[in-house]
Amino acid sequence: MQFVGDELEKLALGNGDVTNADLLGRSAFNRYYYAAFLKTRETLGLMQESWRGTAHANIPQLLEEGLKGPAQHALNRMVRAKLIDQGDKARILRDLNITANGLAQLLREAYDARLIADYQPEIKTERENDLIKLKSYKLTTAKEWPSRANQLCARLLKIWKEFSIV
Amino acid sequence: MFDLSFIKSHPEIQREYFISDMNFREADNTLVLYVPIESVVEKVQSGFVSVKQLEAFQKKLTEKYSVQTQVIFTPSDKFNDIAQATELLLKANFKDLLEEVDFTFLSAEKVNVWIKITSIETEQQKKVESFINSTLSGSGFSVFDFQWVKDESKLPSAIDILLAIKLYQPLKLDKFIDYFSRQYSDVNSKWLNRQLDKLIKRKLVVRDKVSEAYSLTGVGLGVIPQRIGRGSFDIARALDLGRRKW
């Protein structure tokens, strides 16, 4: 998906026709979103199998609210077994919260850009030199969504492994 | 379709909440408000809008117009420049300690700092935190969330050890090493013995004196997270027992 997004960006920048450049640019936003989304969904599936098929719009909420319950449950067991103390539990929950919220925020923004790209053709992309923008979203920033999602997913998994099996 | 003209015809509303742009997404009936992150603060203050003020405004809009609302904080080039400059300063001053640093701006005052380091020592951590505090406070940041990550651990966690016993018990030390060496390059018998002794003290594991093999206690079994479905540990355990028999 990242590769396709990159190629679409190049095509958009190199295309002199405004209509075609717009279509190519908005498709690039779509590909970058999907790359980030698929990585996140795969990661959530590793954390808990029932989260594997989570719908697009529900992922941010799952990240912000749905992880706490299972995490607290597992951490409470570890505290009772004296594998960790309350301080460790607080630190792990805090790290989980910060990382999951960061990923949720990224996906919300990417999803917004993708919906505009796919369903609001009346909102055109704009070109400023070699920069393509859609509303306030720069394609150069969208290009980083997949790697940023990869980074946050790796951190999320690392935290999850402290109290669960992946 | 939701009509944006009400908000657009009241510029004072846009000014009050620092709304730089808005969009109605018919695809999911959501009104999206774009607010520059440089305008957002943690607590109410003049010249800015607070996170809670925005949440209250969203609630009013939802109640009045029966739409979902979302606020998107648009990024700041200035903040990105500050992050890059701070990262360079950190790497220059803490070259041997820092591996990676990452800044996420949550408002004009709050920043999350994720730091990967070679070793976690409290004194060094305090110095790095103090440096970041003093560097960023000059740009208006006062609330910091620090996340400290040590270099990738090449050793299994307590849960990994308990799971290995659950799957293959009774398990001797040499089999443990075999099992873990594939994933964790730093595992050795001395380290593993220490971890197993800790688990025995906590009554999660028992060691048979004759066979020198380790097994879980009921308490130890209760600590291991459950996995339902094809990935179930009970199924894996049953298959392993079957393999031994056949």
CB within 8 Å: B163 and A165: yes
Report pLDDT for B97: 86
Q: Report whether pLDDT(B237) > 80.
A: no
User: Minimal Cα distance from A98: which residue of B?
Assistant: B112
Closest-CA distance of chain B to residue A57, Å: 9
A128 touches chain B (CB under 8 A): no
Nearest CA in chain A to B230: A49
CB-based contact B112 A102, cutoff 8 Å: yes
Q: Tell me which residue in A57, A94, A164 faces B159 most closely, judged by beta carbons.
A: A164
**What is the pLDDT at residue B151?**
65
Please tell me the distance from the alpha carbon of residue B44 to that of residue A52, in angstroms, as a whole number.
Answer: 40
Contact assignment for B228 to A49 by CB distance below 8 Å: yes
Other CB atoms closer than 10 Å to residue B38's CB: what's the count?
Answer: 19
Task: Using the structure block, give the residue that is written with the tokens 């009554």.
Answer: B203
Place B233 in a pLDDT band, splitting at 50, 70 and 90. low
Is B37 an 8 Å CB contact of chain A?
no
Question: Is residue B228 over pLDDT 60?
Answer: no
Nearest CA in chain B to A164: B225
Band (pLDDT 50/70/90 cuts) for residue A81 is very high
3-state secondary structure of B104: strand
- Are B83 and B103 in contact, with CB atoms under 8 Å apart? yes
Quickly state the pLDDT bin for A154 (edges 50, 70, 90).
Answer: very high
Does residue B184 contact residue A161 with C-beta atoms inside 8 Å? no
- Residue A141 φ then ψ, to 5°: -75, -40
Percent of chain B past pLDDT 70, that is, above it, reads 93
For the ranges A11-25, A31-45, A95-109, B80-94, the lowest mean pLDDT is seen at A11-25
| B225 near A CB under 8 A | yes
pLDDT digits (tens, 9 = 90+) for B163-201: 999 999 999 998 888 888 877 878 888 889 999 999 999
ipTM of the complex: 0.90
Residue B182: its pLDDT value, please?
A: 78
Q: Is B20 on the interface with A (CB under 8 A)?
A: yes
B113 neighbors B79 (Cβ within 8 angstroms)? no
Q: Is B112 left (phi over 0), alpha (psi -120 to 50) or beta?
A: beta
pLDDT at B243: 73
Question: Residue B86 and residue B75: Cα distance in Å, rounded?
Answer: 17
User: Is residue B22 classed as helix, strand or coil in its secondary structure?
Assistant: strand
Asked if B170 and B208 count as a contact pair (C-beta separation under 8 A), the reply is: yes
Cβ distance B223 to A77 less than 8 Å, yes or no, reads: yes
| CA B108/CA B131 separation, integer angstroms | 19
* Chain B, window 64-93: residues with a beta carbon less than 8 angstroms from a chain A beta carbon: 70, 72, 74-75
- One DSSP character per residue, B71-83 reads EEEEP-HHHHHHH
> How far is it, in rounded angstroms, from Cα B184 to Cα B164?
13
The answer to whether A55 faces chain B, any CB pair under 8 Å, is no
Q: Is the pLDDT of residue B115 over 70?
A: yes
Question: Looking at residues A77-89, what average pLDDT do you find?
Answer: 93
Residue B115: its chain A contacts at CB < 8 A? none
Best of B4, B37, B157 to disrupt the A interface by mutation (most A CBs within 10 Å)? B157
pLDDT at B132 (0 to 100): 95
| pLDDT for the residue B3 | 75
**Tokens in use for B64?**
């009045």
Which is higher by pLDDT, B185 or B98?
A: B98
Peptide bond preceding B156: is omega within 30 degrees of 0, i.e. cis?
A: no
Supply the mean pLDDT for chain B.
Answer: 88
pLDDT one-digit tens code per residue, A19-68: 999 999 999 999 999 999 999 999 999 999 999 989 998 999 999 999 99
pLDDT at A116 over 80: yes
Q: Nearest CA to CA, how far is A118 from chain B (Å)? A: 10
**Distances in Å between the alpha carbon of B70 and those of A135, B19, B23, B177, B205?**
15, 12, 10, 51, 50
Task: Dig out the tokens for B69 from the structure.
Answer: 């609302």
Question: For residue B143, is pLDDT > 80?
Answer: yes
Q: Which residues pair with B57 in a beta bridge?
A: none
| Count of A-B CB contacts under 8 Å | 78
Q: Can you give the pLDDT at residue B7? A: 77
Name B46's Cβ contacts closer than 8 Å, sequence gap at least 6.
none
Closest partner CB to B159 (pick from A98, A135, A163): A163
Give this prediction's pTM. 0.88
